[in-house]
Structure 1
Amino acid sequence: MSQLAEVLSAQKSLEESFMKKMSALEAQIQTAGPAKDTVAKVAEEFRAFRELVISMLGLLRRQIGECSRQLDNIETRSRRKALIFQGIAETAGEDCTNVTLGVINNKLGLNFTKASIKVCHRLGQANSTHHRPILVRFASMDARMSVWRAKTGLRGSKVSVREFLTKLRQSVFGTARQHFGMRSCWTQEGAIFIKAPDGSRHKVTSLDELNPLLSKYPKAQGSSVGKRSPESTGEGLKVARK
């Protein structure tokens, strides 16, 4: 049975127990005897009712968390063929596909054609103060991985390539980098990898998985978070193959 199925089964059981207790409490109030007896019984039933509500709220949190994780996994799979290019100069009336192909072929040494790219467009509203990133969805995983492996060819330039993470995983990645430093965090196929101060390596995809690491490895005072991450230097790919 899946985790979600287990949660739904437990929820149904709690709902039945809740309705049974409420019916019993209503019957006791209607047939109550002396006032002192009634107060004692109501107090006892209230304690049981409170525990039941707390259990149901906890179950609801688990259910929401599980649904959120499953939706995030589905969205991550839908982004597997996509990458984001940052730092490419933006010009009026540009053809994003041709601009991106120029970077891929000239800077990364690949030989892509327009058929290699399924979708290519700028993200966000046009802004005169900065160049918007370009979202590229490749026609195949092979094409995407070829670019990802060759991204070290962008070293020393203003252009960089990163994965198209979901909002949830981007938040986890940002929190991890702030805590462990950019050089110790990278992504690979939608997962976040962390190199802890003791040299151990960890893979996380959610805050629930990251929080224990934040507690286990307190942030060192004066630690630097401005260094380049393995994601941009290519170290993440080497680690993922181990």
Structure 2
Amino acid sequence: MEAFQQDLQSATDNGTGPADKLSREFYSFKAFVVSSLQTLQSQVQMLHDLNDHMEMRSRRKILLLHGVPEGSSDVLVSKHCNRLGKQNKDKPRPILVKFKEMSSRSKIWNLKTNLKQTGITMSEFLTRRRHQIFVSARQHLGVNKCWTKDDKIFAIGPEGSRHHIQNMADLEAIKNIAPVPVPNSQIAPQSQAGPVSTVSVSVSVSVSVSVSVSVSVSVSPLFASVPSSSVSPLFASVPNSSVSPLFASVPSSSVL
């Protein structure tokens, strides 16, 4: 099309009459094609977003547990609680847990801080598209500045404000935001009185928290409809203090 446009432009410059009319028709046709392609592209993007939204709604009541060790006696616990993917010797597969009510799922999600320092983490079951956006955001903005809540991705930008990231374009816009400069008044002036002796103070604080709750007691209420022989082996290798604080307050009918 570009070569034809150049030939048409040269013919028009020579003052050829028919070429003048053909030139106007060509540019009109070109504008129509470009406009149609842009409209088609926006419609495809709209359908893609709608499909992602519908898929995410089907995953709202699902949470993933990462880092739970796998043992030789592990079994799949029905279709509502099972491990995802193929078995890997180097990394345990995540455990998918599907809840019956959104309120129970939210209650467990809000207790995820109890898993700190246990080697076990919890995440929402994002779609492939949202997972890619979330991973990219953590790589560019920092792990501690990105999080998900209710299937939405949030991040703290360079200027210190919170942003809702819906697509890669939003992430690129946040990355291009200039950081807020620190006022000179907040910078501590250097002392001009010469060297100052320093005093080193060492404070040691020891906090010990002991949680002795049986895993079989804390997990079994969640899976009341599943035989105990199916559930117990799955969490046999998990420390008692790792899973118990999460599921202690969930009623027996919370998980399908």
Partner residue in 1 for 2:129: 168
1:193–1:204 Cα contact (<8 Å) kept: yes
Residue 84 in structure 1 maps to residue 55 in structure 2: no
Kindly provide the CA deviation profile for residues 93-119 of structure 1, in whole angstroms up to 9, marking residues without a partner as x: 42344xxxxxxxxxxxxxxxxxxx971
Partner of 1:37: 17
- Kindly indicate whether structure 1 or structure 2 has the higher relative contact order, using CA contacts under 8 Å at least 6 residues apart: 2
Q: CA deviation at 1:159?
A: 0.8
Letter in 2 for 1:66: M
Task: Extract unaligned runs of 5+ from structure 1.
Answer: 1-35, 98-116, 219-242
Secondary structure of 2:97's counterpart equals: strand
- Matching residue of 1:71: 51
1:151 aligns with 2:131: no
How much is the aligned-residue C-alpha RMSD, in angstroms? 2.0
Distance 2:110 2:61 in 1: 14
Within 5 Å, which residues of 2 pair with 1:142-221?
142-217=103-178
TM-score by length of 1: 0.63
Q: Secondary structure at the match of 1:216?
A: coil
Which residue number in structure 2 is paired with residue 227 of structure 1?
A: none
**Structure 1 runs, 4 residues or longer, greater than 4 Å off:** none
Aligned to 2:25, what secondary structure does the other structure show?
helix
8 Å Cα contact 2:159/2:177 also seen in 1: no
For 2:20, the aligned partner's letter is A
Query: What is the deviation of 1:83?
Result: 0.7
Work out the percentage of aligned pairs sharing the same amino acid: 37
- The question of 1:60 aligning with 2:43 is answered no
Contact 1:72 1:166 in 2 (8 A): yes
Contact 2:158 2:177 in 1 (8 A): no
Distance across 2 between alignment mates of 1:208 and 1:133: 30
TM-aligned CA deviation for residue 37 of structure 1: 3.0
Q: TM-score by structure 2 length?
A: 0.60
